[in-house]
Amino acid sequence: MEKIGLNKLREMFLSFYEEKEHYRRKSFSLVPDGDKSLLLINSGMAPLKPFFAGTETPPAKRMTTCQKCIRTGDIENVGQTARHATFFEMLGSFSFGDYFKEESLVWGWEFSTEVLKMPKEKIWASIYEEDEEAYAIWRDIIKFPEERIVRLGKDDNYWEIGVGPCGPCSEMYYDRGEKYGCDNPNCKPGCECDRYVEFWNHVFTQFSKDENGNYSELANKNIDTGLGLERLACIMQGVDSIFEVDTIKSILEEVTKKSGVAYKNGAAPTDVSLRIITDHIRSVVFMIGDKILPSNEGRGYVLRRLLRRAARHLRLLGVKENFLYELAGKVIDLSAEAYPELEQTRAYITKIITAEEEKFATTIDQGTVIIGEYIDELKSSGNNVLAGEKVFKLYDTFGFPLELTQEILEESGFSADIDGFNENMQHQKEMARMARKNQAEEGWVENAGEYTSGGGTEFTGYEKLTDKSKIESIVVDKKSVKEINAGELGIVTLDKTPFYAESGGQATDMGTITNGNTMVEVLEVQNIQDVFIHKVKVVSGSLSVGDEVTCEVSEIRRNSIARNHTATHLLHKALREVVGEHVGQAGSSVMPDGLRFDFNHFDAVSKEDLKKIEDMVNDKIDSFLAVNTREMPLKEAMDSGAIGLFEDKYENDVRVVSADGFCMELCGGTHVANTGQIGAFKIVSEAGVAAGVRRIEAITGREILIRLNKNEEQIKETSEKIKVLPSLLFQRVLAISEESKAYKKELDELKRSEAGNIADELIADAKVINGVKLITKALDGYGVEDLRNLSDNIKSSEKGIVTVLAAENDGKVMFLVSVTDDLLEKGYHAGNMIKQIAAAAGGGGGGKADMAQAGAKDPSKINEAFKVAESLM
């Protein structure tokens, strides 16, 4: 049997099924699309569930894929065994109501024996014990020896998850030989020994199970087969471990080179670390390639956990410097032909890994020492469980994922107090929530729900800025009342409202509610469980429950917000065009006076790219693109190319906002009707706000004019100040800068030339205390370097001197203490002395025995500090 590489095996499988008229579909993302039951795709059929369930129409009745998969359920076994992995690829062939058992099994046999040329005598088959149809196909059509067909029960050969579609399976096994077997003379597939390796499962979905346990035949029967690529590679390459497969072995060899630790096929304790690093870096690369970022929640937490687990095991191997980002390049090199998106995002992947490595590196060594101390305490106390408070400290302070702490503890025979950890986590979240809240401002919102009628508010603000409404409830000082009067603050709810409630980063509408002589200002609007809560101030008159009122939104404010909101959509699209498709929204703020857009990216956006982005947005503004909004089913919106941000917040029907031919997003905000109404777009800043998150701030419309006028006024004032025409301001500033440098240079030279004279004067005026000369002097306009230079001159002129200098600058004082070398042997120590000297003036510092410096807050206490110096002699 020919030894075939993993990459070639993948291509052989997909090409084979293409020839059998299967639609070859590239791997789905590891991020499930619309499937909230999964955190990450963990099987070849997982992303195809809608096709099998009939809720969506497949692109073809026959499909074949090689699907990227992540499973972390057995993560504690990764590294401990030769077969467990968190990342793997699943080859699959699928039929949606087209062919059935015969074609599936015959083609499986054909691929295994004629394409891969597996020895026929090495292959065994299992079937569900009651599946006579599958048995007959193997025996009569494939002509498979009956003695190698094994009947197994439901636990082994029946696919069923609760109610719904289900069916029997037929599995193909490879006989590795007697040396892997057991003593049982009847050993065959189904035995617990390692002789027979299941490599291909053919699932025949032909029944539907109801809630009463009854089975009925499906009208459209389906085929779902799965063949683990790594497991197949083990068979074809004649190796016992996935870590010996060609591509995976190449990654492991890079780890051994870097660490200098040899791999011994599982025989050495260090093999566990080598395997963990090798496996985890594959998962990490593919997860980041599918735009998953490290975080403390969800799939981002899985990514961070794998990254940090790998980083720790690198340190166990003696590798202290960052290396995972280099290893990622090897993974990409090996996989880019099959997954070109990895090559396209190579720089992005390595930068994210680098940032996460660096972040963890700052704390892992210290955290490892701390957990070591905790383990020593457990040993001495006889306790086997580490307190939840300490587990949480490792998580919160040192970035140790809970599972990493558990793993380290288990290595020493201890466990973690999970309940205590969760209590500390919940307490922190509550404290963070309370810290973010302004009780005075949010109390009215929190309690509003108690006083509403319970029905939702109809929002009419997409179509109208003015509308007639009825007052449904009033709250003043957290109490339900029937009336609110002039001068009072309170909240009101209405049966319908044109006021947009703060949502999705868009600022609240403001405006007025009027009724005859009554004038009420609307200060803020929140949406609490579909009830719009209006915070109001009554300017004149009064409002009562049941009043018919006129609501009027501030048109200028609404238009300003709409301009900025539509501009964020244009900006998002331009970022994806210029920076890369990996860019995704990480947050936004849309206000009347500007916008803020946070996005996933690990590098600062260059000035050149920022200009391209700005120009692209302004081109779309000048193109006067129509901005349309439509409601449609979520699936239709996603299929049409709309970018879904935070999809889990949306119901089945969504609102889609599009600027013709340029961008399309799911959005519930308010927008201009035409991009030309934005006027203009100007980026004012770009900066990092968190690991992997950048922020652009920008302005539009009139705000650009306001900014321009302000800048012009500043230029005018500056020009008048330095008596130059505005057109010559830049040249004059350059000239002043050069003059300043020249003056500073002259001053420094003057100070150096005078330092010798000043040193002689200070030595001459020194006090002699206990046989040692003490110099104390306060100097105006001196910097730290000036003090050091003067101190050096004194020390080079004479022995037996302690010098204490002070310099006041910008309301603060800098102290410097120096001791000549001959006094060091007598116990004089500048670093120890300066701590007490600076403390007298409200400061502190330290340094070496011969020289030290410190800052202090109170220049008026310089003389007191000098007296302390005298007392130390």
Whole-number Å distance between alpha carbons of 278 and 271: 10
CB proximity list for 604: less than 8 A, separation 6 or greater: 686, 687, 688, 694
- ∠ CA(305), CA(309), CA(310), 5° rounding? 120
Q: Measure Cα distances from 465 to 460, 504, 514, 559 in Å.
A: 8, 20, 14, 11
The yes-or-no verdict on residue 445 having pLDDT over 80 is: no
Backbone phi, psi, residue 477, to 5°: 50, 40
Contact 308, 401 (CB under 8 A): yes
Q: Of the given ranges (177-186, 219-228, 738-747), which has the lowest mean pLDDT?
A: 738-747
Backbone phi, psi, residue 704, to 5°: -65, -40
The yes-or-no verdict on residue 449 having pLDDT over 50 is: no
Whole-number Å distance between alpha carbons of 29 and 803: 69
Residue 561 parent element (H or E)? helix 555-578
In angstroms, how far apart are the furthest CA atoms of the chain?
116
pLDDT, tens digit, 9 for 90 and up, residues 23-46 = 999 999 999 887 777 899 999 999
Structure tokens, 388: 């939840």
Q: Of the given ranges (254-268, 450-464, 529-543), which has the lowest mean pLDDT?
A: 450-464
Residue 776 parent element (H or E)? strand 772-780
Buried b vs exposed e over 63-81: b needs ≥16 C-beta within 10 Å? bbbbbbbbbbeebeebbee
pLDDT, tens digit, 9 for 90 and up, residues 276-313 = 999 999 999 999 998 888 887 888 889 999 999 999 99
Structure confidence at residue 518 as a pLDDT band (50, 70, 90): very high
Structure confidence at residue 802 as a pLDDT band (50, 70, 90): very high
Contact 487, 503 (CB under 8 A): no
Which parts of 561-678 are beta strand (E)?
585-591, 594-600, 627-633, 653-659, 663-666
Q: Measure Cα distances from 659 to 103, 434, 506, 571 in Å.
A: 48, 40, 18, 12
Contact 570, 663 (CB under 8 A): yes
pLDDT at 756: 60
Whole-number Å distance between alpha carbons of 238 and 232: 10
pLDDT at 431: 65
Angle between helix axes 862-871 and 830-839 (nearest 10 degrees) is 140
pLDDT, tens digit, 9 for 90 and up, residues 824-868 = 988 899 989 999 999 999 888 778 899 999 988 899 999 999 999
DSSP letter assigned to residue 743: H
Between 269 and 17, the higher pLDDT residue:
17
pLDDT at 325: 94
pLDDT at 868: 93
pLDDT mean over 573-598:
90
pLDDT at 755: 58
Whole-number Å distance between alpha carbons of 97 and 647: 31
The yes-or-no verdict on residue 209 having pLDDT over 60 is: yes
Whole-number Å distance between alpha carbons of 552 and 558: 11
pLDDT, tens digit, 9 for 90 and up, residues 738-760 = 888 888 788 777 766 665 678 88
The yes-or-no verdict on residue 440 having pLDDT over 60 is: no
The yes-or-no verdict on residue 648 having pLDDT over 50 is: no
DSSP letter string, 830-841: HHHHHHHHHHTT
Contact 22, 49 (CB under 8 A): no
Contact 44, 81 (CB under 8 A): no
Average pLDDT of the chain? 89
pLDDT mean over 183-197:
89
The yes-or-no verdict on residue 594 having pLDDT over 60 is: yes
Q: Which of 710, 711, 734 lies closest to 722 in space, CA to CA?
A: 734
Q: Of the given ranges (199-203, 247-251, 785-789, 842-846), which has the lowest mean pLDDT?
A: 842-846
Between 92 and 435, the higher pLDDT residue:
92
Between 358 and 438, the higher pLDDT residue:
358
- Residue 64: strand, helix, or coil: strand
Q: Of the given ranges (236-245, 295-304, 528-537, 700-709), which has the lowest mean pLDDT?
A: 295-304
pLDDT at 653: 78
Q: State the CB neighbour count (10 A cutoff) for residue 502.
A: 14
Whole-number Å distance between alpha carbons of 321 and 323: 6
Whole-number Å distance between alpha carbons of 389 and 366: 17
Cross-strand pairs, 169: 203
pLDDT mean over 203-231:
91
